[in-house]
């Protein structure tokens, strides 16, 4: 019987939503700082499968970021990259609140159809 790679990978993955409230007076500065860190992380770190930031339409200072890492090792590596440290240290004063919400993928076997980095 063929092993379901998507399901086994989902068991190791770190999947979550970062819920961030930015002080309104820093919104543009936050966007400037955050505009490249996700794309750079996905492009340069094989273990970063997704960093997808979004902004609430009706409340623009509320940011949500879907984050998916291949595993704990990839996540720890990401936290120590120069581009993430620059973002984190440069935006601390801009952020009113931050909550990292752990999530479980409901359709892990089909994630490779959306996120092409998953084998």
Contacts (Cβ under 8 Å, ≥6 apart) of 62: 19, 20, 21, 22, 55, 56
Question: Residue 51's beta-bridge partner residues?
Answer: 67
In the chain, where are the structural domains located? Answer: 8-103
Of all residues in the chain, the percent with pLDDT exceeding 90 is: 66
The strand pair at 95-102 and 48-55 is best described as unpaired
Stated pTM of the model: 0.83
Evaluate whether the domain defined by 8-103 bears CATH number 3.30.70.100. yes
Across 28-32, 44-48, 104-108, 111-115, least confident range: 111-115
Span 87-105, pLDDT tens digits: 999 999 999 999 999 999 8
**Measured between alpha carbons, how far is 94 from 29 in angstroms, rounded to an integer?**
8
């Amino acid at each position: 019987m063929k092993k379901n790679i998507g399901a086994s990978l989902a068991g190791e993955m770190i999947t979550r939503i970062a819920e961030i409230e930015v002080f309104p007076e820093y919104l543009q500065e936050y966007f400037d700082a955050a505009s490249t860190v996700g794309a750079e992380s996905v492009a340069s770190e094989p273990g970063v499968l997704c960093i997808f930031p979004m902004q609430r339409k009706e409340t623009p200072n509320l940011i949500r970021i879907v984050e998916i890492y291949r595993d704990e090792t990839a996540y720890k590596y990401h936290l120590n990259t120069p581009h993430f440290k620059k973002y984190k240290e440069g935006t601390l004063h801009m952020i009113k609140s931050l909550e990292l919400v752990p999530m479980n993928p409901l359709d892990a076997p089909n994630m490779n159809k959306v996120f092409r980095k998953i084998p």
